[in-house]
Structure 1
Amino acid sequence: MGGFSPEWLALREPADHAARNPQVLAAVGAHFAAKGSLTVVDLGCGAGSNLRGTYAALPLRQHWTLVDLDERLLAATRQTLAGWADEAREQGEELVLRKGDHLMTVDTRQADLNKDLEWVLGWQPDLVTAAALFDLTSRRWLERFVAGLTSLRLPLYTVLTYDGRETWQPPHPADARMLAAFKHHQHGDKGFGPAAGPEATDVLAEAFRKSGFAVSIGDSAWRIDETRHELAQVLAKGIADAVLETGHVDPATVADWLASKAQKPSALVGHHDLWARPV
């Protein structure tokens, strides 16, 4: 799995943070409120957005291990986090950050979550997190992942898993065909086998509940307006490119649909956040 540029991740970060479900995040924070410190493993960390979106709800002392396959992104996340923090310094291989009252140490690890999953979970943190990851993975991988978490009784907080909802304004006659073709593309192999795509949250929730974990799910849809015009343009181009790969919509229709998104459209793109913990 790969192909996510630092530029795309930086562009989507404000929308990601605005979309997070506040009730789910508050429940995560309440669960750990009595702890003086916390260890977190963030899977598919990208450029560190999930740390920046989550840290304030957690105890004042935190240790994060950020995991990604892409060495570029691991290098970018250290640089971005150092610029984001109020204070930052290197301590051996770790980055020590102070942001407000929070003190965080950050370690970055390159790992293939397909091959190295059990090794990563074997670090046994207090919390496993991820953002915009699990719709890219397969049903089989998700069930394996949940089995690993539940056997170790590790809680999971994951945000922004795509759920297949998509509404653009103004509407276009090809919207429904474009969405159907995009969903088909979402089920393609992203490195873990045929992807669960929009069904990923349901797969996770079902597997956790069968294993006796408590599960909370909250809406975290992007609501894109004219203030996020650039995000809308890049998103529409990505959707159009994916649809062309499927061959399910003719190129002229795709081009016309994409052109209609040039006039500062608004959009709702559905995601869900999930919080699963042992009881």
Structure 2
Amino acid sequence: MSGFDAGWLALREPVDHASRHAGLAAQVREHFAGRESLVVVDLGCGTGSNLRALAPSLPPRQHWRLIDGDAALLAAARQRLADWADDVRPTAGGVELHKDGRRIEVNLECADLATRDLDFTDLGAGLVTAAALFDLVSEDWLERLVACSARQRVPLYSVLNYDGTARWQPENPLDARVVAAFNRHQRGDKGFGPALGPASGETFAQLLSQHGYRAASGDSPWELAERDAALIARLAEGFAQAAGEIEPEARDAFARWGAGRAAAVRVTIGHRDVFAA
């Protein structure tokens, strides 16, 4: 599973980081406070954005296993992380980063998450995390991840899962139809079976409860304005294209909607963050 290019991930990264639920981020920081080291597994890591956002809140010695099925994104991750760090040293499996007094060992793994074993106890995982991933996976896949993690009660932290909310300003008569079609598209197979799409946050919380976790969640919406014009334009194009695949008879109308929505002055895209331990 991939389907994301490095340019899109770079465009969304500042908004992703700013949109994370601050209260949950504080809970994660407090949960691991006082520890000297931590092993983190990052699923669907892309170019390493989740590491760049989360590492400053974690212990001084960190070992990250970044897993993605796209070798090009992993190569981009290595470069982006090297540029982000104060100092970088190559290692056999990746890189060792030094950033703001933290030593962060990074190993890069190219693997198909749809078929990979999701039990990370052999890595000594102390945290399994993912950003903008769980809305793309199936309920069966997510249940497998939670069940594997629950055996050793490994904490799970999932951020920026789309919740089905998309509001565009000023309003347009086609908005509701486009968003509804887009949300149906989100439930299609993204490589893991039928995707959870907007139901991911609620489903994740239910699975966590069934497996004995205590979980907290919070909204992490993108609140986009004119300063985010490039991101809004890409979103409008993506919504129109996905909606057109669901309703091909309206493809031309949706394309016109997308062209007009590229100039929207305000856009809200709803997301949900969840932390369980």
TM-score range, shorter chain: over 0.9
Change (3 A) 1:91 1:255: closer
Amino acid of the residue matched to residue 126 of structure 1? G
Instruction: Look up the match of 1:158.
Output: 158
Question: How many aligned residue pairs are there?
Answer: 277
> What SS is found at the alignment partner of 1:154?
coil
Q: Deviations over 1:162-181 (max 9, x none)?
A: 00011100111000000110
The answer as to 2:108 corresponding to 1:108 is yes
For residues 100-139 of structure 1, the aligned pairs below 5 Å read 100-118=100-118, 120=120, 122-139=122-139
**Partners in 1 of 2:266 and 2:148 — Cα distance?**
40
Instruction: Look up the match of 2:175.
Output: 175
Instruction: Look up the match of 1:209.
Output: 209
**CA drift at 1:110:** 1.0
Instruction: Look up the match of 1:28.
Output: 28
**CA drift at 1:102:** 1.4
- State the superposition RMSD in angstroms: 1.3
Q: Deviations over 1:119-162 (max 9, x none)?
A: 54642401001000000001111111111111221110111000
**Partners in 2 of 1:147 and 1:85 — Cα distance?**
35
In percent, how many aligned pairs have the same letter?
47
Instruction: Look up the match of 2:262.
Output: 262
Amino acid of the residue matched to residue 117 of structure 2? L
Change (3 A) 1:55 1:5: same
The answer to whether the 8 Å contact 2:232/2:263 transfers is no
The answer as to 2:147 corresponding to 1:144 is no
Instruction: Look up the match of 2:187.
Output: 187
**Partners in 2 of 1:173 and 1:122 — Cα distance?**
53
The answer as to 2:255 corresponding to 1:243 is no
**CA drift at 1:23:** 0.7
Identify unmatched segments of 5+ residues in structure 2: none
> What SS is found at the alignment partner of 1:135?
coil
**Partners in 2 of 1:171 and 1:50 — Cα distance?**
33
The answer to whether the 8 Å contact 1:135/1:162 transfers is yes
**Partners in 2 of 1:272 and 1:122 — Cα distance?**
29
Amino acid of the residue matched to residue 123 of structure 2? W
The answer to whether the 8 Å contact 2:237/2:262 transfers is no
What TM-score does the superposition give when structure 1 sets the normalisation length? 0.96
What TM-score does the superposition give when structure 2 sets the normalisation length? 0.97
